[in-house]
Amino acid sequence: MVKDTLTGLKVRHAMRKQLIVLDPSDSIDCGIQYLIKYKINAILVGKDSQIPLGVVSKTDKWGPGIQDFLYQPLLK
């Protein structure tokens, strides 16, 4: 018999504890750097880090060459 390890698991156990929020006025470069730095696939966009407005992700079309840029080492 196969045991389902996700049975009974709550979202709070799987979620990221650190909230990463971009302001709508932040640059695309800033968003890309967060994706790389925190090894995440999407970022919440919110005004004053209070009101959620949407989500941007690696699959969004952020411009030509985005996939090449995402796999470069993080610049210091």
The CATH architecture of the domain made up of 14-70 is Roll (3.10)
**pLDDT at 2 (0 to 100):** 63
How do the domains of the chain map onto residue ranges?
A: 14-70
Q: Say whether pLDDT at 76 is over 50.
A: no
Least confident of 10-14, 60-64, 66-70: 66-70
Q: Report yes or no: 14 and 2 within 8 Å, Cβ to Cβ.
A: no
Backbone angles phi, psi at 21, to 5 degrees: -130, 130
Integer-rounded Cα Rg, in Å, for the chain is 16
